[in-house]
């Protein structure tokens, strides 16, 4: 293992590729298929539910988890100004997560056979091992860091901690499935796992990157740092309460309290980031990446606030305090977070940061436009038709699955294309031309101002 020269490595590349392949081949494809099946007259039977659970795990730890891990390996050492060991831990953690997910997915799909239980358990062990290597590698970075007190640093540490906890919870869930020879994960434990992965692992890293890089790109007004401290505490405390309540089988009211605290923490973070306020000034820079990334980032945070509001009302209903939300038929709240917030945000951040990391151009920005529109339509349909069963509702949900799947395929094309030699070459030519213009202008100070677009 080496630690010198880490900063010239592009450790995120295999992670981004693996995440997109898993998203297209296993995650979104399964989600779309199980939404289309009821329209074709198939029941929401046990096999439907086993696939929806394995879809959820593959999406959270595969599509999103691998993407976040790849970006985290790249940005966390930079945030902490501290070197990282490479490339063995990165390779090992990626393959452990990929294999773990494939085994969990396959095991739950063949639950009727004798292979089901051992495969599910092996998946749980490998996924946990992968997240442990990930957490351990980044903890080493944190340990050597000269300072750990900034906003990004705090959220990054939260992300590292909850990534390992999420892996441990998943292992516990799969262990119980294997011991009981149960085709499905325990509902309460599964819920805790999903929110730990969503808010604790994934969102913490997203918040870390937002507080540093996204804030700079969008020229946001100065952050409310004290509010952010309350936000960090709310998310941590809320998740601990949720996990304890579900695993100790406490009352619904305790679990709801945990969810509400975590959701309030998340809303406070959005407020402290000021991402939904106008920028502090015009952004005038040499254009790199997808030019509408700011719309995507802001829409994503808009969805996050909507999702938290829905989650708080749902949790109050579950605790018996209110009776406002209709029963869910297709997890609309969950998909406001996972599709509306996380997926849109990854589209936005990646379409800006991948070209910067790579020194590359995006060749087909129109595909990004369509990907964004399709994912947004997918979430809207999910919310509008996710609360009641009707013939038109089933068809709308099927459309939601189809357009969401096309959206991820288009994004995958753009992302793969950005990591090519051709994309780097065209960027190099454009940057050289820009440099030449700037040089000429510097020699003729009276000439008209630079057009940065």
Residues that bind ligand HEM (CB under 6 A): 28, 31-32, 34-35, 52-53, 55-56, 59-60, 63-64, 190, 194, 330-331, 334-335, 338-339, 342-343, 378, 401, 404-405
Using only the alpha carbons of the chain, give its radius of gyration: 22
Strand intervals (E) in 352-398: none
CA distance 82 to 201: 21
- Give least dist CB 334 to ligand HEM, A: 5
116, 141 Cβ separation under 8 angstroms: no
Instruction: Return the residue matching tokens 């309030």.
Output: 264
Closer to ligand HEM by CB, 157 or 339: give it. 339
169, 192 Cβ separation under 8 angstroms: yes
- Give least dist CB 107 to ligand HEM, A: 15
Closer to ligand HEM by CB, 81 or 388: give it. 388
CA distance 17 to 415: 8
Closer to ligand HEM by CB, 96 or 342: give it. 342
Looking at the DSSP assignment, which residues form a beta bridge with residue 2?
86
CA distance 255 to 241: 7
- Give least dist CB 46 to ligand HEM, A: 13
Closest C-alpha among 250, 237, 99, 82 to residue 150:
82
Closer to ligand HEM by CB, 3 or 52: give it. 52
Closer to ligand HEM by CB, 34 or 241: give it. 34
CA distance 444 to 227: 48
Closer to ligand HEM by CB, 77 or 183: give it. 183
- Give least dist CB 289 to ligand HEM, A: 22
- Give least dist CB 63 to ligand HEM, A: 6
Closest C-alpha among 15, 124, 129, 146 to residue 72:
15
Residue 2 φ/ψ, nearest 5 degrees: -120, 155
Q: Alpha helices of 144-214 — where are they, by DSSP H? A: 151-180, 187-195, 204-209
Structure-token pair, residue 210: 């937002």
Closer to ligand HEM by CB, 227 or 406: give it. 406
**What one-character DSSP code corresponds to residue 185?**
-
- Give least dist CB 337 to ligand HEM, A: 8
- Give least dist CB 30 to ligand HEM, A: 8
- Taking the CB of residue 421, how many other CB atoms lie within 10 A of it? 8
- Give least dist CB 328 to ligand HEM, A: 7
Q: How many CA atoms lie within 13 A of 56 on its CB side?
A: 23
Residue nearest to ligand HEM (CB): 404
Residue 258 φ/ψ, nearest 5 degrees: -60, -45
- Give least dist CB 350 to ligand HEM, A: 14
CA distance 370 to 364: 11
Closer to ligand HEM by CB, 28 or 73: give it. 28
Closer to ligand HEM by CB, 6 or 63: give it. 63
Q: Alpha helices of 274-387 — where are they, by DSSP H? A: 293-318, 332-335, 344-358, 365-385
User: Length of the chain in residues, anyone?
Assistant: 453
Closer to ligand HEM by CB, 120 or 154: give it. 120
| Helix, strand, or coil (residue 152) | helix
**What one-character DSSP code corresponds to residue 80?**
T
- Give least dist CB 144 to ligand HEM, A: 32
- Give least dist CB 32 to ligand HEM, A: 5
CA distance 172 to 125: 9
Closer to ligand HEM by CB, 70 or 77: give it. 70
**Backbone CA torsion sign across 390, 391, 395, 398:** positive
Closer to ligand HEM by CB, 34 or 371: give it. 34
- The distance from CA 222 to its chain's CA centroid, rounded to whole angstroms, is 25
78, 150 Cβ separation under 8 angstroms: no
- Give least dist CB 52 to ligand HEM, A: 3
């Amino acid at each position: 293992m080496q630690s010198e020269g880490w900063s010239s490595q592009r450790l995120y590349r295999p992670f981004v590729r693996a995440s997109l392949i898993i998203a297209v081949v296993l995650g979104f494809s399964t989600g779309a298929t199980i939404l289309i099946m009821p329209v074709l007259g198939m029941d929401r039977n046990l096999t439907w539910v086993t696939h929806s659970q394995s879809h959820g795990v593959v999406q959270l730890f595969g599509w999103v988890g691998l993407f976040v891990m790849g970006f985290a390996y790249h940005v966390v050492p930079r945030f902490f100004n501290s070197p990282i060991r490479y490339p063995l831990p990165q390779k090992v953690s990626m393959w452990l997560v990929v294999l773990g997910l494939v085994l969990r997915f396959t095991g739950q799909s063949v639950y009727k056979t004798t292979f089901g239980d051992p495969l599910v358990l092996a998946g749980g062990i490998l996924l946990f091992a992968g997240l442990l290597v990930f957490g351990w590698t980044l903890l080493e970075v944190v340990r050597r860091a000269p300072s750990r007190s900034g906003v990004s640093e705090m959220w990054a540490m939260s992300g590292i901690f909850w990534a390992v906890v999420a892996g441990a919870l998943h292992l516990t869930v799969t262990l119980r499935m294997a011991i009981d020879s149960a085709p499905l994960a325990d509902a309460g434990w599964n819920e805790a796992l999903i929110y730990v992965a969503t808010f604790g692992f994934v969102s913490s890293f997203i918040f870390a990157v937002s507080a540093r890089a996204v804030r700079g790109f969008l020229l946001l007004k100065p952050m409310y740092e004290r509010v952010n401290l309350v936000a960090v505490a709310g998310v941590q405390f809320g998740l601990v309460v949720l996990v304890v309540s579900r695993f100790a089988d406490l009352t619904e009211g305790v679990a709801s309290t945990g969810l509400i605290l975590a959701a309030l923490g998340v809303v406070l973070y959005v407020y402290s980031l000021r991402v939904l306020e106008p920028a502090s000034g015009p952004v005038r820079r040499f254009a790199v990446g997808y030019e509408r990334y700011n719309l995507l980032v802001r829409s994503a945070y808009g969805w996050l606030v909507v999702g938290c509001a829905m989650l708080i009302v749902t949790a109050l209903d579950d605790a018996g305090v209110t009776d406002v939300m209709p029963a869910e038929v297709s997890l609309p709240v969950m998909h406001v977070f996972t599709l509306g917030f996380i997926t849109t945000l990854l589209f936005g951040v990646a379409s800006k940061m991948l070209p910067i990391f790579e020194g590359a151009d995006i060749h087909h920005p129109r595909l990004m436009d369509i990907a964004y529109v399709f994912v947004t339509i997918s979430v809207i349909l999910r919310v509008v038709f996710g609360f009641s069963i009707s013939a038109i509702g089933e068809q709308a949900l099927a459309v939601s699955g189809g357009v969401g799947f096309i959206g991820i395929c288009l994004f995958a094309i753009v992302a793969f294309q950005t990591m090519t030699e051709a994309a780097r070459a065209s960027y190099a030519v454009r940057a050289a031309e820009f440099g030449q213009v700037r040089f000429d202008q510097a020699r003729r100070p009276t000439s008209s101002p630079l057009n940065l677009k």
